[in-house]
Structure 1
C-alpha cells in the first residue's frame, strides 16, 4: 500500500521538474493525444474520481462534481492514525518495540474507528478539522491515542491488551482481535463515555445490545472538554462492531452489494479490513471502488499537547490525511468488521430498521442476521463459553498464516 505516498511525492514536484525528469527517463512522447485528455498527476490527487456516481463517506452522500472540496474536507477531518517511530518501548525498557512499523496497521485502523466514534459523539457529525483547530475537546480526544502507556487507547495499551489475550506484541491483528481488544479498553475510560458490542456469528442480537446500553446513569456530555458530566440517561453510546468472513481467499461476489450499501447507512463508521496482509480503514465507496485511509506511512511520534508551538501544530497535521486511497472492492480481504455508531437509543433503532431494509431483505445472501433474542438453546453457560473463546483465542475471522507487512519499506516519510 503506497499509492497515497506516491501521490504526495508527485504533487510536491513542479510541472517543469516533472517534465525534465520524465524526458530523461523516457522517450519524448509526453504530449500525445491520449495525454491531452489525461489528468496530470500534478494538477489534482487521484483520491476521488470526477464522476456522476454518488460518493458515500460514512453515511454521507456527496456529488463528486459539485462537492469535491467538501468530500476532501470531510475525509481530512477523520483521524489518520499511522505507523509511528521513536516512542517509549512497548513492554518496558528491555523491549525493542519503539515503532509499530510492519505489524501495527490493524491496531491503527482500530484507533481510527474509535477516534471517529469519539469525534462524532463529542463534536458532532458535521464537525470539520482545520490546520488551526485548537478546540479543547478535539485535543482531549487526540491525546487519548498518543503513543505512550498512559494514554487509554495508545498503541501501547492496545498491543499489551492483545498480549494478555494471547497475541504477542508485534503479532498481526485481525478484525475480530482489534474489536475484542477495544471492547476491553473502553471500559476503563469514563470520559469517552461509550460501550462496545462485538456481534459474533454474523448475528446482531437486538435485546442483548439494549440490555448492555440501557443504564440508569451514563457519562454523556462534557462541561468544558475536561470534566465529564454525569446526567440521567437511558443509553450508553454504542460502537457496534460486526466481524464477518465474506469468503475464503477473496470476497464472494454475492456480498459486494451489501458491503457497498453498508456505507450508505447514517450510523456507518466504515469497515475495518484491508488487502491480504495489509490492514486498511474503509470509510466509503464510489462505483465499484472503496475509499480508505491507509496506515502504512511511518511518521515520528510525539505529543500535540495544547497545540501552542510550531512543532505541535505540525504534528497535529500528521493525524489528518490530505488524500485518501481507493481500489476495487473485489480486491478487499474477505475478513472484515462492519462498524456503526449509535449515540442514542433512537439511533440504534433506526440502524436496526436500516439493516433490515437495506442489508437483509433485498439480498439473497445477507451480510448478517438481525434477531430480537438469541436462540432458546443458547444457555447462559454457553454464552459465557463463547464470549471467553472469542476474547481469549482472538483468532476468529483471521488468517493464521499472515506475516508482518513491509509495504512502506521504500516509501517511509521521515518527519
Structure 2
C-alpha cells in the first residue's frame, strides 16, 4: 500500500470516514411528485488508513437519498460489509470476497451491489448488508457490474469474464431473478471486459487489447498490448449460436452508451472510445503513477461502430470531440434506437472544468451544463416524467461534489434542456465523494 497522496483518494475523491443518517433534507425548488423512490450511488471509499494500489480496489460505499411526496426524507451512506471490507484479500478464486464498489441495481426484488471480479452482494432498502447472492447457485462465475435489463421483457442480461478459459460466460435471468440461460461465448480472449451491450436481437461483447498480464503490478493485472486487435462480438439472442467477431481499429471501451439494430439489420454500437494514449494516461490516474493528469478520463471521446453480421464488415466514426465518460440514456431505450444520451464531460477539448453533457445523435448538437469551479457532477441517471411521451421527457439525477463548500447536492435537471436552472436541488448533509455508478429505484418496482 502506498503512503503517498494519489488522485483517487484526494480532492473530489477524498473518502469519507464514517456512516451517517440524516432526515428531512433541505430542498430548493420543487421535487416532481413522480419522484417517489430511492436514488442509490455506489463508489470506492477506502477505509481510514488504507490507500489501495488502484482506484478500482477501494472498499464499496453506497450513498442513498429517499424521495417521497415532494420531500427528501433521508440521506444515508453505508459500506457494503463484505469480507473484503474486513481485510480478506481477493485472490481471484473466492468470488464472494468483493469490494462491491462499482454499481448497484434492482432486479427480481433484490438490490445488488456489483463489482465485476466477484459475485453480487445483496443490500436492503436502507443499505444494510444482507449477503452474497449467487442466484440460487446458478451463477458460478463473477458477474459484470453492467448488466442490461431488457425494457420489454424485463430479462436481465449479464456476463462473467476471467483470465482463464472459458474467458467469457453469458447469462440471462428472467424478470423474477431466475437464471434461465448460461452459455460460454466462443472466440473470446483474456481481455478486460468491463461492459457490453444488447439490442432487441443481439448481444454485443467487447474484446479490447487490454489483456491479462502478470507483468502489471498495479493491483489490476491487465495491460494494453499493441499486438492484440480490438474485436467486437455479436451473438444472436435467440439461443445458442455462432458469434460473429469484427476486428476494428485498435481502441478500448470501458462503458457502452447503447446499441441497437438499424433498419438494415446492422448493429450500431456507441460509447466513449479510448485510443492507446488516452487509455494509458487514464490508467496513470487510476494507479497514481507519475505524470497522471487532472481527471480519471483523459481523451476518451464519443464514437460509433456499425457492424454488419450479413457481410462481416465494420465501419466506425467519431461523433464528438469532448472528453466524456460515464454515459447514460433513458433506460426504456436500452437495446433500441435512441436519439439522446448523457455523460460527464471532463476537463479537456477546451473545457476548463467538469460539465454534464447531452448529445443529440440526429442533429449532432450538444447541450452543456457547466457546473462551475471545483464542482464535479456524477453519472446522470434518467427518470421519466409522469405520462412521458418523448425520449427526453423526464429528469436527470446527479450528485455534484463541491470542494469549495465541502458539500454535495443532488440535482434534479430537466432532461429536455439540461442548461435550464435545476428543477430541484437537494442539499446533502456532507460532501459525497465522486463515485462510479448508481440507479433510481421507483417505489413501484419495489412492490
> What interval of TM-score do these two structures reach, taking the shorter chain for normalisation?
under 0.3
Could you state the TM-score of these two structures normalised by the residue count of structure 2? 0.26
- Specify which structure has the higher proportion of strand: 2
Tell me which structure has the larger Cα radius of gyration: 1
Higher relative contact order (CA 8 A, sep 6+): 1
- Specify which structure has the higher proportion of helix: 1
